[in-house]
Amino acid sequence: MARSRDLDDSASRAALLDAAESLMVEHGYAAVTTRRVSKAAGVNNGLVHYYFGTMDDLFAEAFRRRSERSLDRLRHVLDDPQPLWALWEQSRDASSNAIVMEFIALANHRKAIKKEIAAYSRQHRRLQIERLTTVLEGYGVDLERWPAGALLVLVTGTARFLLLEESFGVHVAHDETVAVIEREIGALEGERRVYERRASAAS
């Protein structure tokens, strides 16, 4: 908050963050170099250091911006009429997962990023557990036997694992895994139905 509004709102700054994201998704985090990111953003390469200081700071800022948007979206996901289906679908979304995987890979070599991801993950998980507990109680699930947190980790962990393997072109036993999970979700809240698109703050 000590940072000036002017600096945060700069179009060049935003362009650099956007370019960093899209480079990460399309060519991996290693493609995000001062020269390439500034070229992709259409600004001069000196501006990277003017706005962010170091590459570490650029990455951290890109992750923070993503996290805020993502948490906003999460707050609405479990308001879906079929929250378990919505959660599952969101977990299976490859596009939003690709950049997360890049950040995770990046974190192995940038400690500052590692801390950001850890903090975000904890917050995200806690928020999900809170909402999911309410949902499962409504379905009459025995939460002693099947705690919301455990089901959440099982489902989202498996979803991410599936996405990871799929990004390698590995699909062995994926169909039956998806079938089992969707059968169990269906047993709790019926077949997935299609609703009117909900209004959302996220773009």
Partner DNA sequence: GTCTATAGCTGGATAGAC
Partner DNA sequence: GTCTATCCAGCTATAGAC
Spell out the residues 6+ positions from residue 15 whose beta carbon is closer than 8 angstroms to its own: 41, 42, 43
Report whether 170 contacts 185 (CB < 8 A): no
Across 6-16, b (16+ Cβ under 10 Å) vs e yields eeeebebbebb
Contact between 106 and DNA (CB under 7 A)? no
Report the site for its own copies in 107-146 (rule: CB under 8 A).
107-109, 114, 117-118, 121-122, 125-126, 129, 146
Contact between 75 and its own copies (CB under 8 A)? no
CB of residue 83 vs its own copies: minimum separation in angstroms? 17
Token pair belonging to 81: 């009429």
Contact between 149 and its own copies (CB under 8 A)? yes
CB of residue 105 vs DNA: minimum separation in angstroms? 15
Distance, CA of 129 to CA of 50 (rounded, Å):
40
Distance, CA of 200 to CA of 106 (rounded, Å):
30
CB of residue 21 vs DNA: minimum separation in angstroms? 15
Contact between 28 and DNA (CB under 7 A)? no
Q: Which of residues 56 and 68 has its CB atom nearest to DNA in the complex?
A: 56
Across 118-133, b (16+ Cβ under 10 Å) vs e yields eebeeeeeeebbebbb
CB of residue 171 vs its own copies: minimum separation in angstroms? 9
Contact between 22 and DNA (CB under 7 A)? no
Segment lying near its own copies (by CB under 8 A), choices 49-57, 64-72, 155-163, 194-202: 155-163
Segment lying near DNA (by CB under 7 A), choices 50-58, 132-140, 183-191, 194-202: 50-58
Q: Which amino acid is at 112?
A: A
**Residue 101: count of CB within 10 angstroms of its CB:** 18
Contact between 53 and DNA (CB under 7 A)? yes
Which has the closest alpha carbon to 17: 91, 67, 76? Answer: 67
Contact between 7 and its own copies (CB under 8 A)? no
Contact between 81 and DNA (CB under 7 A)? no
**Applying CB under 7 A, which residues contact DNA?**
6-7, 10-12, 32-36, 43-47, 49-50, 53-56
